A = this chain, B = another copy of it.
Amino acid sequence: MGRRLLDYFPCIDWLRSYNRNLLASDASAAIIVTILVIPQSLAFALLAGLPPEAGLYASILPAMAYAIFGTGNTLAVGPVALISLMSAAAVGDVAEAGTAGYAVASVALALVSGLMLLIMGLLRLGFLSNFISHPVISGFITASGLLIAASQLRHIFGIELAGDNLIELAQSFWLSTGAVHGPTLLVGMLALVFLYLVRHYLALGLSRLGIEARISGMLVRSGPIIAVVVATSLAAIMNLDDLGLSVVGDVPSGLPALGMPDGPLALFQALLVPAFLISIVTFVESVSLAHKLAARRKERISPDQELLGLGAANIASALSGGFAVAGGFSRSIVNFDAGARTPAAGALTAVCIGVVTFFFTSLFYYLPHAILGATVIIAVLTLVDVTVIRQTWMYSKHDGAALISTLAVTLLIGVTAGILTGIALSLILYLWRTSRPHSALVGRIYGSEHFRNIHRYKTETDPHLMILRVDESLYFANARYLEDRIYTLILEQPQLTDFVLMCPAVNYIDASALESLEAINGRLSDAGIRLHLSEVKGPVMDRLDKSTFLKALTGEVFLSTYRAWCKLHKAEEDSPGTEEVEVQS
């Protein structure tokens, strides 16, 4: 399946039919998104350890690049909390916070991650993200939300806080308790309470007033901008910064300078692993969000093309002094609810934010950090989902263990260790499970052609004949286990003359398992027992035909277990193919 060059530019499709109506929808959405997401963009830049303008820069070119290469009509790309946290953790390992090297490393990380996404898109490696299980993602997101909220307490309490995990943050908090700044705490708490009430009760109130859900949703999401405007105005009028309230201060106006990030090769190498994890999380989160938004409007997205769009966005972010970006949940929901119709809405948002960055950054001077911190805390607490822990544990202990381990390691050690632990553990648990497959001795359901577990059903059996159904593909990790199971079983039934391995759930037999089958065949033969197979699937049979196993097999391969029963059952009658066999007493 070759792709034409034009296929890499999905914007061509929607631009062809673009018209005034679409423009009107997209433009109004863009204005709303711009107003609502600016506080977030500033706050996530701080979360990533960068100056606030980096958040604006990361909202301009990346959104334009995604509009060209992305396939999600309403996905809004820019700074997001989770990725900002991962960026801060990765960059904090290679550079001192607040230094020029830190900014360089943040940009380098976005570049490496963008290139990885691009390469994954070109090589169609999107399936790699399938190897992260949902419980691991759940645990990781919940833990990240808690970590982010904890880290933002620095702004609420007006103290210094540092650390990559809850333990370090708690120690740091403990050491700084003496420095808590009263006025800051007051502003921060007021903002938290206000934002909490808006988010949790405003929608309820508005719906009682009969306001449409879409509109009330938008009003709820305007909480942060209202808090920002009110607090910034008050701080400016009352000169609260003189009281020691920390404010954003000078934000350079003008558009970002374009340029290649430049750092030593060792820096890029040191960022490879975190960049890869950020790429995977960016992809998983953005695509699942894009899927959900697209499904609501019966649209489709192309995962491999999304990799290109996200890759281009991150590279654009790196070239314009931004940091790692992804498709953001709240900015996308605002975009969707505000009526965006095509990716042009994202591009127009970028233009609007560009205008703000060019002309209006002085307005942010008196914006208190405490307000930004409160905005982030309220935003990320929606990531925390505790009910899923119990549900997952109830459904499957393995999945629950993967979730809880990811959660615990992320909280107690850090994001990189957390997600790596989750991925490794879920793979190991999967291999562990398939290495000890379920198998059942089966007997005939009286008078039927069906064979079921002798411990679950009342069945007809035969002391000369043993039928074992194995419920897993046979491969190296479980081959020896099967051998041991069979050797143990045959000791229990001394009259045994025929052993049937029933294979309806065996989708594959690898070379190691084939050797085990040969060993089983030899061992049973030594014990005077013939080995038969039944219900072998077509593809498995094709493969066995290429080996010498079928020649060495002491018994037969039966199409159905019933035929094996008819042939091998030492009953009064033994003509194969008859529909009924007398029930043994």
Contact = CB atoms under 8 A, between A and B. Distances in A.
A476 B546 contact: no
A395 B433 contact: no
A323 B106 CA distance: 50
Interface in A421-444: 426-427, 430-431, 433-438
A324 to B, nearest CB: 24
Interface in A389-442: 391-392, 394-396, 398-399, 426-427, 430-431, 433-438
Contacts of A472: 473, 507
Contact of A508 (B431, B433, B537): B433
Nearest to A391: B547
Given A427-B431, A475-B430, A504-B504, A510 B295 contact: no
A134 B471 CA distance: 22
Contact of A133 (B471, B512, B523): B512
Interface string A175-199: 0000000000000000000000000
A22 to B, nearest CB: 24
A131 B456 contact: no
Contact of A127 (B398, B481, B512): B481
A528 interface: no
Interface in A125-166: 127, 130-135
Contacts of A436: 127
Interface in A271-305: 295, 298
A453 interface: yes
A431 B131 contact: yes
Contacts of A394: 546
Contacts of A134: 476, 479, 511-512, 515
B512 A438 contact: no
A210 interface: no
Contacts of A434: 473
A538 B396 CA distance: 15
B478 A437 contact: no
A244 interface: no
Contacts of A295: 523, 526
A200 B438 CA distance: 47
A464 interface: no
A480 B132 CA distance: 11
B480 A435 contact: no
B480 A511 contact: no
Nearest to A430: B475
Nearest to A535: B504
Work out how many copies of this chain go into the complex: 2
Contacts of A453: 538
A388 to B, nearest CB: 9
Contacts of A471: 507, 537
A477 B129 CA distance: 8
A272 to B, nearest CB: 18
Q: Output the residue of A134, A295, A476 with the most chain B CB within 10 A.
A: A476
Contacts of A132: 476
A56 B508 CA distance: 47
Interface in A479-505: 479-481, 504-505
A27 to B, nearest CB: 30
B476 A131 contact: yes
A392 B481 CA distance: 21
A537 B295 CA distance: 31
A539 interface: yes
A438 B395 contact: no
A514 to B, nearest CB: 7
Interface in A187-225: none
Given A505-B507, A511-B135, A538-B456, A543 B479 contact: no
Contacts of A437: 507
B546 A477 contact: no
Given A430-B475, A456-B538, A435 B127 contact: yes
A511 B395 contact: yes
A496 B34 CA distance: 44
A142 B510 CA distance: 20
A359 B134 CA distance: 68
B476 A130 contact: yes
Nearest to A394: B546
Nearest to A127: B435
A449 to B, nearest CB: 9
Given A130-B477, A395-B543, A395-B547, 16 more contacts: A127-B435, A127-B481, A130-B480, A133-B512, A134-B479, A134-B511, A395-B546, A396-B510, A396-B511, A399-B512, A427-B431, A430-B431, A430-B476, A434-B473, A437-B507, A471-B507
Interface of A: 127, 130-135, 295, 298, 391-392, 394-396, 398-399, 426-427, 430-431, 433-438, 453, 456, 471-473, 475-481, 504-505, 507-508, 510-512, 514-515, 523, 526, 537-539, 543, 546-547
28 contacts: A127-B480, A130-B480, A130-B481, A131-B435, A132-B476, A133-B510, A134-B476, A134-B512, A134-B515, A135-B511, A295-B523, A391-B547, A395-B514, A395-B543, A395-B546, A399-B511, A399-B512, A426-B476, A427-B431, A430-B475, A430-B476, A430-B477, A430-B510, A471-B507, A472-B507, A504-B504, A504-B505, A505-B505
3 tightest Cβ-Cβ pairs between the two chains A and B: A133-B476, A399-B511, A134-B512
